[in-house]
Amino acid sequence: MRLEAMAVSIPHVEGHPNRVPFEGVLTTVNAASDKAPAGARGHRVMLTREAAEQALPSLLGMAVDYRPGWDGHDARRKIGVLTEAELVGQKLSVRGYLYARDFPDVASAIAAHSPQALGMSYELADARVEDMRAEIWKLTRVTFTGAAILLREKAAYQATSFRMAS
């Protein structure tokens, strides 16, 4: 098993009303997506482990967003921040904080979903595709620009997850 990890050091503040921790699986590496993600022109994609390792630093400090129907991305609805990212096996796991006091309706909606219902999706820029003619696009270089919380069934990777700490 190979492990790569990075984190931003944020001091713990007991009972902070606006900083509710979360954790999730953002994606899997070296595995084709179950569906074509937005922006992939109908192609399924595979994020290589090497690309994910190189891009880990770009995840830290990036925003987490949502869309009211929990069915996609909305970069203008930022509700949290990513503070940790690690690759364990094929899973790219993340941790961070939701701004629960600033967005109490969103925090309540997340809490109302069953733990198995929510997943995550990454947001990218500067992606390099090995062969644009391939059925499955192999991503060999990326820059992460954020992440979204959405229904797992709407995520390109069905193995993603999201859990807000209680």
Per-residue pLDDT at 9: 79
The domain locations on the chain are 18-164
- Distance, in Å, from the CA atom of 92 to the CA atom of 159, rounded to the nearest integer, reads 11
Q: pTM value? A: 0.92
User: What tens digit of pLDDT does each residue of 7-24 get?
Assistant: 777 888 888 989 999 999
User: What tens digit of pLDDT does each residue of 118-154 get?
Assistant: 999 999 999 999 999 999 999 999 999 999 999 999 9
Task: Give the H/E segment covering residue 91.
Answer: strand 91-98
User: What tens digit of pLDDT does each residue of 57-114 get?
Assistant: 999 999 999 999 999 999 999 999 999 999 999 999 999 999 999 999 999 999 999 8
